[in-house]
Structure formats: structure tokens, C-alpha cells
Amino acid sequence: MHPLKKQILALVLTVIILLQVAAVPAPAAPAEVELALGSTAAVLIDGENGTVLYEKNARTALPPASITKIMTLLLAMEDLKSGRVDWETTVTVSERAWRTGASESQMFLNIGQQVTFKDLLKGIAIVSANDACIAVAEHLNGSVEAFVQRMNRRAAELGLEQSHFVNAHGLDDPDHYMSALDIAHLASYFIHTQPDAAAFHTETEFTFNDIRQFNYNTLLQTYPGADGLKTGSTPKAGYCLASTARRQEMRLVAVVLNASSKEQRRKDSATLLDYGFGNFELKTLHEKDAVITTVPVKRGQKREVGLIADGPVRAVVPHSDPDYRIVEEFDLPRSVPAPVEEGELIGTLNLKDPQGAAITGVELRAQESLKRLGFFANIGRRIGDFFAGLWRRVTG
């Protein structure tokens, strides 16, 4: 081939390749951004499914300071729900609890004082009371050390891979750490499973022993939709905040660690939340009680049963891309045997983003109960199916 023809052919092929590359769809999510954050680590997740919307050093283990108390409150609330304690259970303050209160964050408990479980939990949630953490831990498990073992077991159960606790309040210790992402997932779980305790975090002040104190989370007064969750600060941890805000149906959870000041942690948290609300929305894929799919039923009074989720199926999608599509993949049996009970777990709907990354799995349950066909009814159905198939072959 003539050299000139070779050059022309190469040029044509190059143009074709470039056109094909240009035709590839752009990433569905907004382009990666660098937010102006002063904190060492930060993360923003959607509170519905835990989808990570922004992260900076989010998987690095760092001192969490008083954000630790979310785990303390979670265990306390789980014990309350199990009946081990109730809101009016009285707790006797030990000398160890009293001594731990010798810091800025305390309820000013006195040795031997009788305090209700509810007051202690409010003190932890609203004014980050270290003395209340010790009192609760000792009451529930006999010692702080035994309670901390529970904290670590619970962290493992929740899949918090970059978390380890040595105390119930978060004061500095080299073996006490969490990652921003672990904190965000813990905060989201806490909000969903413990709404009564989460409501304490919305309160801006707390009075106990005639001492009036105020919540350190200034977002509650300054950020629209903010309703929690937990601040923290120690010399090694810097200023930290696990914040959450809700607008319409969308809840976001933001975490910042090791900010240089109270104002920096507030500003960084607001920046994260602004980014989330400004670039994403919560999309409903299936309404509550809507039949999402069906599965055949062997020998059932109906040939198939509809499958529904426990609530609406939703996912966060970017505002900027109307063509963004959530991928739905079903993990279902080929059929189920009758009888089928209403609410029986049948399978799972797995949601993925357009790149195939998992978003969440949604349990699918039987919409209704179906009885098993009796012997003669089943024979009658088989005979009917036989002749119906025969007719289709004849007429087809």
C-alpha cells in the first residue's frame, strides 16, 4: 500500500475511535469533586441505604472523641427494649462515675445519687455527659470493662471494620478509634432503630441538678433540617461531628473528624450536607405494598404469588443526570411450594448503580397466603393444563 494511503487510513481509524470514545456515556453520578474541607477525614452518606456520596480519608481509623457515645446509647437502648431496664429505672452513681465527671462534659452527678435511666441517656445525648456514660455502663454490665467488651462485639456484628473501643465515653486512648465511614453507618443504624433516643439529640438544652446546659451541636440552630447527632472533641481527636439532616423524604448523614475548631467542624459539616442536598435526590423505585415481581407456586391455589417489600424501595440518584438508572437484580427461587404464608421471606431485590456497585439488598415477601391444592383439585388442574397445551399446539 502507498505510504500516503496508509497515513489516510490511519487518520480515518483514529477519527472513528475518537468518535466511539466520545459516544460512551459519562459517569452517572456527578463528576468527582474536591470540597473545601479543613477536617482530616470526612464522609457523606445517604441515610436510607448508606450510599457513599462523598468521602475524604473516610476509611482511616482516627480518635472519635465523644462520637463514641452513639454506641453507648445504642447498647443502652437495646437493653431498654429487651426489658432489662425501663425509662424510670434508678441508677446509683459510683465514685468512678463521679470522678469521670471532672471534665467539661458532665451532668455533675454526685456519689450515691439516684438518677433515672432516662435522665442519664438524655445527659449523654444532649450534653455529652462522661459521668453518665460510666453510670450506665456499670449499671448494665457490672463494670465499664464488661460494657466495653459488648461495644466491641456489637461493632463487629454491625460490620464496623475500623472501630475499636476501650471506654464508653471517647476520652483519648491510642487503642480507641473509629473511621468516619464506620461512624456514618453506626449513626444511620442508630437513627433507624432507636428513634426515641435519636429524638434526644434534637434537643438544644438540658437541665439537671438545677444546672442548665446546652447542646454543642450548633447545626441544630443554624442548618435547615438538621436534627442531630453527636459532637466530640479531645486534644488528640480535634473537633468532630456526626451530623444528620432531613429535607422532605431524604436524610443525609455527614461525619467530620479532626477539625481545627468548633467553627471548622460546623462549616465542614454544612458543606457536606449542602453538597448532598444540592446534587442528589431520593427516588422511589417501588411504592409501599406494590407488587415488585412474582414467583411461581407449586400446587398453590394460585399459580404464582406477588412479592412486596416491607416499605417503599428507594435510592439516591444524582439531580444532574436524568438518564441515571438503578439496576435491579433479583435473587429468587425458580418456584416455591404451597402453602405460602403472607409475609414469608421469598427472596431479595439487589439494587446496583449503573457501574454495578451494590447499593442495598431489599427483602421480598409474599403478598398473600396461598393454600396447597388438594389431591383432586391438583389432578383437575393438570388435566386442564394438558388439554390447554394440546389446543395451543393444534391451533398454533
Residue 260 located in a structural domain = yes
Cβ of 275: how many Cβ atoms within 10 Å? Answer: 18
Output the nine-digit C-alpha cell for 45.
452518606
In this predicted structure, the answer to whether residue 396 has a pLDDT above a threshold of 70 is no
What pLDDT band is residue 4 in, cutting at 50, 70 and 90?
very low
Q: Is residue 33 domain-resident?
A: no
What pLDDT, on a 0 to 100 scale, did the predictor assign at position 256? 98
CATH number at residue 50: 3.40.710.10
Instruction: Looking at the structure, tell me whether residues 69 and 212 fall in a common domain.
Output: yes
Domain end call among 241, 258, 280:
280
- 263 and 319: one domain? no
In this predicted structure, the answer to whether residue 6 has a pLDDT above a threshold of 50 is: no
Identify the pLDDT of residue 88: 97
Residue with cell 415481581: 293
The one catalytic residue in 39, 56, 66, 163 is 66
- pLDDT tens string 147-179: 999 999 999 999 999 999 999 999 999 999 999
What confidence score (pLDDT) does residue 385 get?
Answer: 62
105-144: pLDDT as tens digits: 899 999 999 999 999 999 999 999 999 999 999 999 999 9
Which is more confident, 21 or 39?
Answer: 39
| pTM flag (> 0.75) | yes
Q: Do residues 247 and 317 share a domain?
A: no
Residues 310 and 361 in one domain: yes
Residue 218 is assigned to a structural domain of this protein? yes
Q: What is the pLDDT of residue 5?
A: 38
Catalytic residue among 56, 69, 122, 230: 69
- Mean per-residue pLDDT over the chain, rounded: 88
Q: Are 140 and 76 in contact (CB under 8 A)?
A: yes
* pLDDT given at position 351: 93
pLDDT at 13: 34
The percentage of the chain sitting over the pLDDT mark of 70, rounded to a whole number, equals 86
Q: Are residues 208 and 341 in the same domain?
A: no
CATH number for position 358 = 2.60.410.10
Structural domain contains residue 228: yes
pLDDT band, very low/low/confident/very high, at 25 (cuts 50, 70, 90): very low
Residue 180 lies in a domain: yes
Q: How many residues appear in the chain?
A: 396
pLDDT of residue 393: 72
Report CA-CA distances (Å) from 96 to 17, 100, 130, 363.
72, 6, 11, 46
User: Buried (b) or exposed (e) across 360-379, using 16+ Cβ within 10 A?
Assistant: bebebbbbeebeebeeeeee
Buried b (16+ CB within 10 A) or exposed e, 74-91: bbbbebbeeeebeeeeeb
pLDDT interval class at 321 (50, 70, 90) = confident
* Domains in the chain, number: 2
The question of whether 243 is a catalytic residue gets the answer no
Q: What mean pLDDT is predicted for residues 85-96?
A: 96
Same domain as 164, residue 78: yes
pLDDT at 355: 86
- 387 pLDDT band, cuts 50/70/90, is low
Give catalytic status of residue 320 as yes or no.
no
287, three cell numbers: 411504592
261 and 132 share a domain?
Answer: yes
pLDDT in tens, 205-229: 999 999 999 999 999 999 999 999 9
- 5, HSE (Cβ side, Cα atoms, 13 Å): 2
Range of the domain at 240: 41-280
Q: How confident is the model at residue 383 (pLDDT cuts 50, 70, 90)?
A: low
**Model confidence band, residue 332 (pLDDT cutoffs 50, 70, 90):** very high
In the block, residue with C-alpha cell 391444592? 373
Helices in 237-317 by DSSP H: which ranges? 262-279
Indicate if 69 belongs to the active site: yes
What DSSP assignment string belongs to 206-250?
A: EEETTEEEE-S-THHHHSTTEEEEEEEEETTTEEEEEEEEEETTE
pLDDT for res 16: 33
d(CA 251, CA 229): 12
Same structural domain, 67 and 110 = yes
Active-site pick, 39, 94, 105, 128:
128
Domain's final residue, options 248, 280, 312: 280
- Of 254, 280, 306, the residue that ends a domain is 280
In-domain check, residue 395: no
Contact 367, 291 (CB under 8 A): yes
66, 105 contact by CB (below 8 A): yes
Whether 130 maps to a domain, the answer reads: yes
If asked whether residues 264 and 297 sit together in one domain, one would say: no
